[in-house]
Structure 1
Amino acid sequence: MLEALTNVDGVALRRWASGCVDGLTDRCDDINRVNVFPVADSDTGTNLLYTMRAAAEGAFSAAVDAPVGEVAAALARGAVSGARGNSGVILSQVLRGIAEVARNGRLDADTVRGALNEAAVLATEAISIPVEGTIVTVLRHAAATADACPAGTDLAGVVRAAASGAVEALEHTPSQLAELGRAGVVDAGGLGLVVILDALVGVVTGVTPDRTDLALTPGPHEVGEAGAAPAASPPPAPCPDDPGAQDYEVMFLLAGSDEALVGELRLRLDALGDSVIIVGDGSGSWSVHVHCLDPGAAVEAGLAAGRVHGIRISCFALDAIRSGGVAGAATPVPGRRCILAVVSGDGAADLFAAEGAEILRADEPVTPERLLTAIRGLGCSEVLVLPNGALPAQELVTVGVAARDDNRSVLLLPTSSMVQGLAALAVHDDTRAAVDDGFAMSEAAASTRWGSVRVAAERSLTLMGTCEAGDGLGMIGHEVVVIAADAAEAGRRLLDQVLGVGGELVTLLLGVHAPDELGDLLADHVARNHPGVEVLVYPGGQDVDLLQVGVE
């Protein structure tokens, strides 16, 4: 057996970086498999591996005989610039903690303790809302366990204690974080940290711990067990907002900034989303991470703080589709055609169902995963989808690509509203070829001019000027074209505009909050002012639009 090291020099630090890459490569699938927090996107192992590879490349870019401080600094810079995901950003701070301490030229038993403590402090400070049961909890407990070693403990004893402390904390993560407890798994980032600390044990002692018996899916008695948290960990903190409410992960590098500007950036990102992590490499560069609904606003916030580069934006829903992480499909029946309509409101659902359409309710948010699952759940070899404005075009294209296979063809028709969907459904003919049927339905939708009436919730500025709370708003597409004193007047003026260029049939789809008399008032207005135009009034029951108007 090799004699244990008493200190880690630049050469040993490079060996550790390589060992981390090898260990993460071996356990990548295991780590991805238990990844449920903050987003169950099965990429924590991949992100840690990518980050560690970037760190190792940085370390090997230093001179062969470079001192440990120089190699550690290069390791940290590489990790910060190449960090991927929450876990990768936190890993970069573990390496930065080592770099901060290694400046004195030594990494021995005492300074490794200091490095782990510094890493824990940096990682905790980087997160706007720390959550217990994550990689940071495991890191803090590992540092505390190493720090508790008796005076005179050699380097091998310290790193073994750190790794054992990490395992102890990891096994308790399901009792600290509800998402882990429900899934019955340990924290994925914490598991990655165990791999990294075990690699350090391997470099120092020559023997890497065997963790084949480490339970990644604890038994029921370990999940949610009262009092199960490690003694060195504080009580669990409240969880942040549900990460599922955010659609995008935004990461970028920031230069030309300072601590004050970075502090302001953190506040702006906290207001935009959650899972905000901002870390520095100690050399004037920061890595920024946030989950949010508006990736453009996150990037703009970065531009206000300094020079932004290396921007990476991921959509969780589209990533899930691309990775096949959406529920399975029914077996398509050859030659069977289905129409799938996205609708909001009981009345609208009844209307579309009466015409033979399958329904996906939009009363709760329609995500790409929900739409894809609905398509795959139809036992049809030909599916025509009426999205009715529920998703943007790019997401619809991605859903269509994911839904098609050798046994199922999918056409997503350009319906931007339910009234356009009704017009398309009216000309549906399943005796035609699917592509011809889809073309006819698309043409019917495109020839239907549509608008809507809403009530302004607050004072705001529109293209037509300023509206006050309670004003009636007439909209064509997504633009306000009428501001009136009430909804009825807004509806009359909107109808005059859309009928100003002609029309033979008006469809009025009344929302759940529409006054009982609104449909009759607007039908009478059309009869008096636009003779010869037929009006059909239906109870739609949609929540957002007081009224949808379609003109053919």
Structure 2
Amino acid sequence: MRDWLDCAHRALVEHTDVLNDLNVFPVADSDTGVNLSTTVGYATEAAQLIEGNDIGELLQHAGRAALEQARGNSGVLVALTLTAMGTSLEGSTRMTAGELRDAFSAAQVRCWSALTDPVDGTLISVLEAVSKVSLPENSQDGSNQQLSDWMDLVIARGSHAVIETLDQLPVLHERGTVDSGALGMLIVLVELRAALTGDLTRHNPVPDIIRDYSDHTGHKDKHDSVGFEVMCTVELSALDAAELRHELDSAGDSVLVSAVSETDNGYTWRVHVHVEDPEEALELMRARGQAVNVSVTSLGSDEPQVSP
């Protein structure tokens, strides 16, 4: 798992530019590549600090560390994916295909529930697709061979799910490109297969998708986005978190509120929203609790990021 996270981070860094160029949903702020690679980088660092052979414990620790400092909508979702997979795999020292399929399903549900208005054609669509891949019947249940064979099916279905995003979101259909976050998730899954099988020679569909379904020259609309992305981590009760989500829904969009870890007084939550007035969002967050790891980023790519 440590090797997987490290290789996934490296692969996301390698593909940062193309992922940024593909980023048009939910806003064309050209930062999905940076957000995914940075967030998985936090997870990679955290995974190196935990000892033991419990796969679930390692992924939970890495996911929570990444979630505390996650960048952007896509970064929060990939951190939630790791955390949910870890919860599902807790106590396991090796993985079977069936256990990993359950972990993917748990991740899809966790990501879906964190969003106020989830839609098809995104990173979550890839998780949903791979969680439904049937286990191979021509290999022994629970065997390494079954896991290896199943991961090939996962990559094939994940690739198809990425290409399907072109017709699931109107903005992607208009441009003739796939969703950036969905492609990023496929990159992560390809590295998972390589880590589990040790085989680096299997067909990697990512270059084919980039060749056929990406705009290599960048998109002209990336400077058209207005408003700000506001993020923070805050300690709240479940009721306060629900009320904050409702308030942010009224103030902006792309709202994401998800628990990071349990505390004596409730939970720490990672909060994300896009708004026209960042001060309005910050006031709502701070009225509920002490906001930390705060960032305010202009959705116009020429503007700097500031951390109040």
Would the TM-score normalized by the shorter structure come out above 0.5?
A: yes
- Partner Cα separation in structure 1 for residue 81 and residue 251 of structure 2: 27
- Partner Cα separation in structure 2 for residue 158 and residue 281 of structure 1: 31
Change (3 A) 1:33 1:138: same
- Partner Cα separation in structure 1 for residue 274 and residue 49 of structure 2: 32
Deviation at 1:76, TM superposition (A): 1.1
- Partner Cα separation in structure 2 for residue 216 and residue 272 of structure 1: 39
- Which residue pairs with 1:46 in the alignment? 34
- Which residue pairs with 2:234 in the alignment? 254
RMSD across aligned C-alpha pairs, in angstroms?
2.1
Aligned residue for 2:231, secondary structure, equals strand
- Which residue pairs with 1:276 in the alignment? 255
**What are the equivalent positions in structure 2 for 1:422-461 lying under 5 Å apart?**
none
Aligned residue for 2:255, secondary structure, equals strand
Match status 1:161 vs 2:153: yes
State the AA in 2 paired with 1:104: G
**What are the equivalent positions in structure 2 for 1:372-383 lying under 5 Å apart?**
none
Match status 1:293 vs 2:272: no
Aligned residue for 1:61, secondary structure, equals coil
- Which residue pairs with 1:79 in the alignment? 66
Q: Which has the larger radius of gyration?
A: 1
**Contact residue 20 and residue 33 of structure 2 kept, 8 A:** yes
**Contact residue 97 and residue 135 of structure 2 kept, 8 A:** no
User: How far does the alpha carbon of each residue in 1:439-489 deviate from its partner, in whole angstroms, 9 at most, with x for none?
Assistant: xxxxxxxxxxxxxxxxxxxxxxxxxxxxxxxxxxxxxxxxxxxxxxxxxxx
Question: Structure 1 unaligned runs (5+)?
Answer: 1-12, 220-243, 324-552
Deviation at 1:216, TM superposition (A): 5.4
Match status 1:267 vs 2:246: yes
User: How far does the alpha carbon of each residue in 1:360-409 deviate from its partner, in whole angstroms, 9 at most, with x for none?
Assistant: xxxxxxxxxxxxxxxxxxxxxxxxxxxxxxxxxxxxxxxxxxxxxxxxxx
Deviation at 1:282, TM superposition (A): 4.1
Change (3 A) 1:82 1:216: farther
Aligned residue for 1:83, secondary structure, equals coil
State the AA in 2 paired with 1:250: V
Change (3 A) 1:273 1:139: same
Match status 1:125 vs 2:113: yes
- Partner Cα separation in structure 2 for residue 272 and residue 322 of structure 1: 22
Higher-helix-fraction structure: 2
Change (3 A) 1:258 1:217: farther
Match status 1:214 vs 2:213: no
- Partner Cα separation in structure 1 for residue 110 and residue 173 of structure 2: 27
- Which residue pairs with 1:314 in the alignment? 297
Aligned residue for 2:119, secondary structure, equals coil
State the AA in 2 paired with 1:149: L
Deviation at 1:305, TM superposition (A): 3.0
Q: Which structure carries more relative contact order (alpha carbon 8 Å, separation 6+)?
A: 2
- Partner Cα separation in structure 2 for residue 294 and residue 33 of structure 1: 26
**Contact residue 80 and residue 280 of structure 1 kept, 8 A:** no
Match status 1:149 vs 2:135: yes
Count of equivalent residues = 282
Deviation at 1:304, TM superposition (A): 3.2
Change (3 A) 1:150 1:259: farther
- Which residue pairs with 1:134 in the alignment? 122
Deviation at 1:294, TM superposition (A): 1.9
Identity level (%): 31
Higher-strand-fraction structure: 1
Deviation at 1:280, TM superposition (A): 2.1
- Partner Cα separation in structure 1 for residue 304 and residue 270 of structure 2: 26
TM-score by length of 2: 0.85
**Contact residue 135 and residue 190 of structure 1 kept, 8 A:** yes
- Which residue pairs with 1:204 in the alignment? 196
Bigger mean CA deviation after superposition, 259-268 or 296-305: 296-305
State the AA in 1 paired with 2:284: A
Deviation at 1:70, TM superposition (A): 2.4
**Contact residue 186 and residue 216 of structure 1 kept, 8 A:** no
Aligned residue for 2:253, secondary structure, equals strand
Change (3 A) 1:104 1:184: same
- Partner Cα separation in structure 2 for residue 160 and residue 302 of structure 1: 44
TM-score by length of 1: 0.49
**Contact residue 186 and residue 218 of structure 1 kept, 8 A:** yes
Deviation at 1:158, TM superposition (A): 2.8
State the AA in 2 paired with 1:35: N
Change (3 A) 1:96 1:297: same
Aligned residue for 2:257, secondary structure, equals strand
Question: Structure 2 unaligned runs (5+)?
Answer: 215-223
**Contact residue 278 and residue 288 of structure 1 kept, 8 A:** yes
User: How far does the alpha carbon of each residue in 1:123-147 deviate from its partner, in whole angstroms, 9 at most, with x for none?
Assistant: 10011011211111122112122xx
